[in-house]
Copies of this chain bind each other. A is one copy, B any other.
Amino acid sequence: MVGGGQGAFIGAVHRIAARIDDQYELVAGALSSNPERAQSSGAALHLAPERSYSDYREMARAESQRPDGIEAVAIVTPNYLHAPVATAFMEAGIHVICDKPLAISLAEGRQLAALAKQKNLLFALTHTYSGYPLLRHARAMVEAGEIGELRLVQVEYSQDWLAEAIAAGGMSEGNWHNDPQKAGPGGVLLDVGVHAYHLAQFVSGQTPQQLLAELSTFVPNRTLDDHVQVMLRYANGAKGTLWASQVATGCENTVRLRLFGSKAQLDFDQEQPNELWFTPQGGNRQRLRPGRVDSRAAAHATRVPAGHPEGYLEAFAQLYLDAAIAIRALQAGQPVPPEASWLPTVEAGVDGLAFAEAVLRSHASGAQWTTVEGAQAG
């Protein structure tokens, strides 16, 4: 693991996710660039002292030379380090599991994709929501034609944790999320906008051709955007709206996707992840549940019997499980089995950065329709 030392947030989530299905053991880390904190964080996680590094380059080099060196690295640093850290480990022949966004520019992202391909390494990107069994089932339904031809996409990601002025405690002064050098050129856009975009793409199987966007910053003294609204146009004529906000007062973490096809509607909100609402045209809403759908896709992502809710950590664990399956397949020179092939990878990350780059261009043009470059389903 790189990043995730004491006081960090997402690192602990990754560690729980990696443990749940018992496919990983944490044996080495560059948990902090501060040597003392790296050591103490490592000790708290029972790392051998000599495998607690303070420099990720040193870690990549040393681990690749050990006979018991790590097989995969989890990258949980601030955004701007994703690309250099991932590059260092891929150069050393080590598989990568990276938090989103993939990188802070589309160019960087493309380089990562090229390197992963060249080295034949797995590059998993933790778009967590795609690990929920019912989103897997939703995708399977779309693929099976159960909603018909796609017409409308409505996706939103709304939070309120940045709704208050920085001084009032919404975000601490030096938080890297507010620093374009570390977070990249988008605030809410890169933090959660790319999640929303991936979700729509993951389930619908379609990538918009054009978009039109406006970024806003509501809270004074904030450097980056805290709200984004986007209109989407798809190749088949479908239309969409995406909005993401960290000033959506009163919202904890609404991540809602609705797809309207010519035959049916699907509706999912990750705050109730054990429910997927399916409504046939002109019909009654049905509440699908993981234990009540006859679905290989959902079953693969479910650990408990019907009626026992799973949550965010299990969705996260699903990505780690799929990554383990994929890594073993690559190590054996075999194709990734179908059930693990929906794992978001570096290609999904490139798509997300293409989206973000198009949003920034559209916004700069005063919300003109803008082509999404070379987008491809992830």
Contacts and interface: CB of A to CB of B under 8 A. Distances in A.
A353 interface: no
Nearest to A285: B287
Q: How large is the interface on A (under 10, 10 to 19, 20 to 34, 35 or more residues)?
A: 35 or more
Q: Which 4 A-B residue pairs are closest in the complex by CB-CB distance? A: A253-B307, A250-B279, A252-B307, A250-B265
Interface stretch (A56-64, A105-113, A171-179, A256-264): A256-264
A207 interface: no
How many copies of the polypeptide does the oligomer hold? 4
Contact of A271 (B163, B307, B314, B369): B307
Interface in A286-330: 286-289, 291-293, 303-314
Given A12-B303, A214-B239, A250-B280, 4 more contacts: A16-B20, A248-B265, A273-B309, A284-B293
Contacts of A305: 9, 253
Contact of A249 (B253, B281, B284, B367): B281
A253 B307 CA distance: 5
Nearest to A283: B292
A318 to B, nearest CB: 12
Nearest to A163: B281
A339 interface: no
A241 B248 CA distance: 13
Interface string A222-263: 000001010100000101010101011111111000001111
